[in-house]
Amino acid sequence: MNNLDIPDIIISRLPIYLRALRHMQAQHTQTTSSQELGARVGISAAQIRKDLSQFGEFGKQGTGYNIGFLIDKLREILKVVQVWDVAVIGMGDMGHALARYQGFKDRGFRVAMVFDNNPSKVGTKVESFVIRSTQDLVTSIKQSGIKVAMLCVPAAEAQDVTDLLVEAGVKAILNYAPISLSVPSGVRVQYLDPSIGLQRMTYYME
């Protein structure tokens, strides 16, 4: 495929473009330009054109990009035409919130399974999901073929659970635990620690 040599920094911008295009589409806009899209997401028009040109010629001189068409292309590139089943590990407040989150709709993901290691939670329900024991994690995830997980366990357990996820064949982990994870190559991690986000901003404050 055209996969392996496109810089990760470009890939990381595509979901932002996709989200903004969806937003425009919801407002019944038909076309946009690199200029307009760039203004919306805070990225230069030149960069947007350069990024998109890695994957094909999606625009027309003079008129710009057809929004519906570009959305389809970005969904194909990011492989979110399909819907990915996701496992949520850790049914604390954060895991609970993710299990109930409505924002995955139409963005390529669906929570399919939830886990916790607390015996008093296992077997109870969150939304429509029966909480499974972390002891069954490897078997259940292997069996279901799930490749994507969201990790919401305490920091102290996060690496151990990660090792289980890797063993189960998970290839993408969205990590809410406040700790750096080590994973083998071929497995990806994205970090969403709120304190890290906040500390990236306080530096700039007087």
- The least distance separating DNA from the CB of residue 1, rounded to whole angstroms, comes to 18
Q: Residue 98 and residue 63: Cα distance in Å, rounded? A: 40
Q: Is 30 in the site for DNA (CB under 7 A)?
A: no
55-84: which residues touch DNA (CB under 7 A)? 57-65
Residue 135 DSSP one-character state: G
Considering only 25, 35, 40, 66, the residue that binds a copy of itself (CB under 8 A) is 40
Q: Is 35 in the site for DNA (CB under 7 A)?
A: yes
Name the token pair of 101.
């989150």
Q: Considering the complex, state which of residue 49 and residue 147 has its C-beta at the smaller distance from a copy of itself.
A: 147
Other CB atoms closer than 10 Å to residue 145's CB: what's the count?
10
Q: How many residues does the chain have?
A: 206
- Tell me which residue of 125, 127, 166, 123 sits closest to 148, measured CA to CA: 166
Helix (H, G, I), strand (E, B) or coil at 81: coil
Task: Give the interface with a copy of itself as residue ranges (CB under 8 A).
Answer: 3, 11-12, 14-16, 18-20, 23, 40-42, 77-80, 84, 86, 92-94, 96-98, 100-101, 103-104, 107-109, 147-148, 150, 155, 171-172, 174, 178-180, 182, 188, 190, 192-205
